[in-house]
Structure 1
Amino acid sequence: MSDPNRSDPNVNAAIPAVPAGHARSLLFVPATRPERFAKALDSGADCIIIDLEDAVAEGSKDAARALLARHLPQLDAAQRARTMVRINAAGMPWHAADLALLREWAGRGVAVMLPKSEDPAALRCAARALGEAARIVALVESLAGLDAADALAREPQVVRLAFGHLDFQLDLGMRASAEEPELAFARNALVAASRRAQLPAPIDGVTTDTGNAERLVADARRARAFGFGGKLCIHPAQVADVNEALGHSEAERAWAARVLEEAARRGGEVFSLDGRMVDLPVIRAARAVLAAG
């Protein structure tokens, strides 16, 4: 477990661009706080999410959008590849203006998170407004969204599903316990929908107790156990533990490299490595480990 109070000597090093479709840690930052954007990008998070929705009061929506419009030109290509914007949901008064602002930037690498995703037709409308190059993360926050998960995942410009588990509980009148076994059905469904659509593993929701590292690690490990590949973060101190829980250890990467090296030498034959049979599914798993980085 990482220490949130410990300085990271690599935090200011160049962080490689990780597209939203493969990010492990995705850190929210309010659009009203542009002074935090650069810090968020330097936090070690694979991706940041500049939030125009829940983090912005209704009376500040237009001002937040204006701040974002001034900030986006300051991002270079690598930073844009690690930036997502959560817009206001379809049907909200600010939705069209958010889409209009992001049309240019969605074509230049900035991804878009669509909250309250539950209607494939509304998602297609947003995609058309953003342009053909737009990459969209569909945030499922309701039973209607879960029911439509397969259809949402198959939309051509959707690169990933995400689970807004707090709003989902509100929608169903649930009050899940700390380990959230009550939400297993929804997590299973989102992982399965992603797999059927051949999308990367979905993104799990936030851990709201930012001072409880043990809870964060347990939540991140649960996400990994269910088959999620990413997790939303609301504080920079959460990033390192999420990356560790959802990533691969040096030992796992070394094993995967040995598997692929031996597989190439064997020319496709089944073989044994460290007492374990290695066949095509194991080779595919090794490739996935190295591809994830």
Structure 2
Amino acid sequence: MKEKILKTLTALILVILPFLVGTSIGKYSPYVETNSFTAYVAIWTVISMAFATIIFLFLRYFQLNRIGVLLFLLICPMVGIIGLAAPPDLSIKMLEHPEREHLRYIFLFIAAAIFGLLTLFLFKGNMLTIKGSGRWIITLIFVVAFAEFIWEFTHHYLYPEGLKLWISEGKNAEDFGKNYDNFSIISIGVMGRYVQFISIIWLSLHLYKLREIKIWSPILVGISGLLGIVSATVIYVTEMNIPKGFEFLFLFFIPGIPFLLLYWLGVALLTNFRKRDIIA
């Protein structure tokens, strides 16, 4: 009974840990004019190294799920993004500090790289015990999800450069956003979210089927993932003009949400161990 309570409390703390740590460093956000960009990066680096060191030390004493360890490392880029404590600056003021938006997407590139490693580890050794054509179909879905992440983050990473070129051509800065992120671009993002959320929901259900995680994880991931799919659908149908009262749905469309769900899967994998998993 005590072990079950301890696992539950540990899982709960780990689920909200990115927000606790991220908000704690928000006061150092480079979006605050008086703060140092370099100092924020240094703080994030130290915190990330601490998380990585702790999880690898735990590997010495517990037979932790290696996929869980990999997904837990998503906490590093997530803390960095949450710590920015500001939405993307898409105004002309962005050109005064383009490094801020670049940093945001560097964090997302790191998260995407972890997703790429996840795909490689899952299917190279067939860790999910999927046989036949199903294995290749699921692999293809994950590869498509990874490819969309890379394309999307590259597109938005280059936003400041695109805006600068647009202005240099004598065009109105206020018109740039609609041109750069036109409906075709939005549509690709929507399709990407469909693939990403579906693949993550499927992974959570499959891991539960393999008894690698407890039921709370597929429920949490499933509900959040379905909200992400609904959000993508609303954004596609309304062409990004979300009706009043439903603005909260946009939260589930932002690119960090799929990585948060994967992090939660990592927490579920890490906290689903038994006494026999302790290395003497």
Task: Report the TM-score range of the alignment, normalised by the length of the smaller protein.
Answer: under 0.3
Structure holding more helix per residue: 2
TM-score, normalised to structure 1's length? 0.26
* Bigger relative CO (Cα 8 Å, ≥ 6 apart): 2
Structure holding more strand per residue: 1
